[in-house]
Structures are given as structure tokens and as C-alpha cells.
Amino acid sequence: MSMPLLGEKFPSIEVQTTHGAMKFPEDKRGKWVVLFSHPADFTPVCTTEFVSFQKHKPQFDELGAELVGFSIDQVFSHIKWVEWIKEKLDVEIEFPIIAGTDTLAEKIGMLHPAKGTNTVRAVFIIDPEGVVRTILYYPQEIGRNISEIVRAVKALQKSDEDGVATPANWPENELIKDRVIIPPATDCDTAKERVEKYECYDWWFCHKPQ
């Protein structure tokens, strides 16, 4: 097993989770998945992230995307932490959390030795075919922006459905707002057609309503 890269199948792993045993990503085939690691249970930044992931869960649900957490804590710790979040913060964590190992975390790119012995804040967005489509890394000291992860899933789905690209900060881009980008032409005839068919800054930068 080697660290999964963009465009590759996520390696098959058999794990224990707070929702029982899981073969991943096979058990999630046919669905978009956001697999994210956190450094440790019962830590403040991770607690805020889990609350935020749960608060954003309806948005992930709308996109048909499932959340799966991961750290190298034992499943007993995950269970107790989820109970604590429910009791103290009145938030029920509804998604499974994988109890990983150092070896597994390192092999799939969640353990960076120079950053300590805990998993970094990794995010893998995996498509319904089990292919890795986005990888994000944050250090232990910086909490993630969960809205950006929702946006990334939405943008990937838009790209797949319509064969387009999305601009920076989509759907609130400074140049073309919520419009999408047409892939650049690869021959002269298509380049000429593009500027007649779409709104363009030039033949290589054309856009249309989403």
C-alpha cells in the first residue's frame, strides 16, 4: 500500500469504527466520501472541527457525500469523546470515526513524522468509484474551514456533470461570479468557435452560466 494520490483508487482498508467494522472504501461505493483525520480525541481544535462537520452534515447530505473521521485513538476513546460532545455541547456526532493505527495512518498519508506522532489534519474527497479527487492537509495547530470542503465537493460534482472547470472562490469569483469555465480549445477551429459561442476574455478563457 502506498499513499493515495489524486486520480488513484483509494487503497482498500479494513477498520473498526464507532459504527462497527468497515471495509473502506468498498462499503461506501456509489457515494461521495469525505475522509478526514484529526490529531487526537479530547483536544480543543479537533472538538470544534467535529462540531462543525456535524453542523455542516445536512449540506454534505444534500450532495450525497458521507463523512468518515479517522485518528489513531482506540475506538473506546472515540466512543467516549462522542458521548462527551453530546453531553457537554449538545451535538450528536452521526458519522463514523475510524480507529486507525500508526502504520495505517502513515501509509495513507495521514502521519507526517516531522509534525509529531499524531495524525495531521488530512482530508481526502473520494468519488463514487473510489477515486481520490481532492487532498487537503492542515497542521495540528490550524482548524479546517468546513465550508471550503463542502464547496470542493460541490465543485467536483459540477465539473463531472457538465465537463467544466470552476474558478477561484466559486461560486463567488471576483471576475465571473458564479459562472463556470469552458475547457480551453485544443485546435484552431474550436478556438474560433469558442469566442462566437461563449463569453470570453480570449479563446482560452471562455465561460458560461452554470
3-state secondary structure labels for all residues of the chain: CCCCCCCCECCCEEEEECCEEEEECHHHCCCEEEEEECCCCCCHHHHHHHHHHHHCHHHHHHCCEEEEEEECCCHHHHHHHHHHHHHHHCCCCCCCEEECCHHHHHHCCCCCHHHCCCCCEEEEEECCCCEEEEEEEECCCCCCCHHHHHHHHHHHHHHHHHCCECCCCCCCECCCECCEEECCCCCHHHHHHHHHHCEEEECCEEEECC
| 206 belongs to the catalytic site | no
From 46, 188, 200, 206, active-site residue = 46
Active site residues: 46
